[in-house]
Chain A
């Protein structure tokens, strides 16, 4: 390590130790994954487990190749991704707007509070059959379900964030003669940006639940559809492959939000 800051020997040793710790963690993560995949593949090859039921890493890779060759890989991925992202954006945007309304009017908040609590407690999957009958079996229904699963939490999270704004700062705005809209724009919204990031993280997880749940119930395409279909015709390779792809996509989306979070924290 170049000593361009002129650190003491002790500090250089400390930095080296920190770097080594980091390397150990990264290497361990990779080794763990390799280990699990290795054991899985080995057990499948040695027929310790039945690959017909459990699949195996090599079979998953083969299935991905097949899906790619017959052109359906990106088709299914694209559909589920589109549903999830659409539902995510709508849930966060609409949820934020509703939270603003509830913050602005204490009366509206109090009146709607029990309804929000009930909607939050209700498992949205119970509404599945209703949604099919009312909205049909197309992509609208799936996106609707995605939004439904995510939106209540978005509303509650953002509202809590808005209400948690420092009372001294609120008094400051009042003392300057600011009305509610100005206070919202200049204080509440910027102050609650960390809460928004946190809400995005939660909404990512919920959006995937919603879209896969929707595909389970109604769809003819997408990763959720592949899981259900694969399960029904006992093509477990298809199930595992779709699950594996879901892990990557969901993890990737969460990772993007984490990056946004790091950027935001830098400016505060």
Chain B
């Protein structure tokens, strides 16, 4: 379980200070998939960096039950000089858990999600959607407990986006991971999450939280649900667009 309690964070540069986040509070339960949406530049990425411990809050507390984070970035950031397989092993090497068992499990995960024929290839030979899938498997390789996803689909074209969206949610749910995803795409937030947190403009605080219950369908199925459009409208108004 991950809880933000009255978190504030201010960026300091020689040009001045910017408070990205102020008195922000929300909770992510174990096994829950939470989407965070908000206006552009409102501090969503800051929230993930705070969660991962890369940044320390200026004030407030982050309560965390323990376990490791996996951070998936906006761009796949795969290393072109390594094969797909070697890219997947990267977190194992860094965290010094590069055992044969961990590697086998990582390969099994990759094969389970359609990457079997691509393991020995160079990332350059893969399409954008495949690369993002590899990035997800890489994030999962060290078996983190919580996944932090920073607009992981924004660099993809729309069709690929819809497909990868389905894959990612499927993988996360079947591996029973907790996930915190930030996005500026309202329909994506609704399609993926169990709960949507709406942020205000900078300095960001929580404007509303919505529990999403469209059943256990895939994101594509959820988009077809009756109250999808209604929920979309509610969120759109809350974002003020």
Q: Interface of A with B (CB < 8 Å)?
A: 166, 168-169, 171-178, 182, 186-187, 190-191, 193, 267-268
Q: How large is the interface on B (under 10, 10 to 19, 20 to 34, 35 or more residues)?
A: 20 to 34
Assess whether A168 is in contact with B95, with CB atoms less than 8 Å apart. no
Interchain CA distance A168-B90 in the complex, whole Å? 15
Assess whether B73 is in contact with A168, with CB atoms less than 8 Å apart. yes
Contacts of B124 in A (CB 8 A): 268
Chain B's closest residue to A190 (CB) is B81
Interchain CA distance A176-B74 in the complex, whole Å? 15
Interchain CA distance A173-B138 in the complex, whole Å? 12
Assess whether B73 is in contact with A171, with CB atoms less than 8 Å apart. yes
Asked if A191 meets B95 with Cβ closer than 8 Å, knowing A168-B73, A172-B73, the reply is no
Assess whether A168 is in contact with B74, with CB atoms less than 8 Å apart. yes
Contacts of B74 in A (CB 8 A): 168
Interchain CA distance A178-B90 in the complex, whole Å? 11
Assess whether A175 is in contact with B71, with CB atoms less than 8 Å apart. yes
Chain A facing B: main interface SS? helix
Asked if A176 meets B91 with Cβ closer than 8 Å, knowing A168-B73, A168-B74, A171-B73, the reply is yes
Contacts of B142 in A (CB 8 A): 176
20 contacts between A and B (CB under 8 A): A166-B77, A169-B79, A171-B73, A172-B73, A173-B94, A175-B52, A175-B71, A176-B71, A176-B91, A176-B95, A178-B94, A186-B93, A190-B79, A190-B82, A191-B79, A191-B81, A267-B81, A268-B80, A268-B81, A268-B122
Q: Would you give the shortest CB distance from B212 to chain A, in whole angstroms?
A: 27
Q: A168-B74, A172-B71 are in contact. List 19 more A-B contacts (CB 8 A).
A: A166-B77, A168-B75, A168-B77, A169-B79, A171-B54, A171-B73, A171-B77, A173-B94, A174-B54, A175-B73, A176-B94, A176-B142, A178-B94, A182-B94, A186-B94, A190-B81, A190-B82, A193-B81, A268-B81
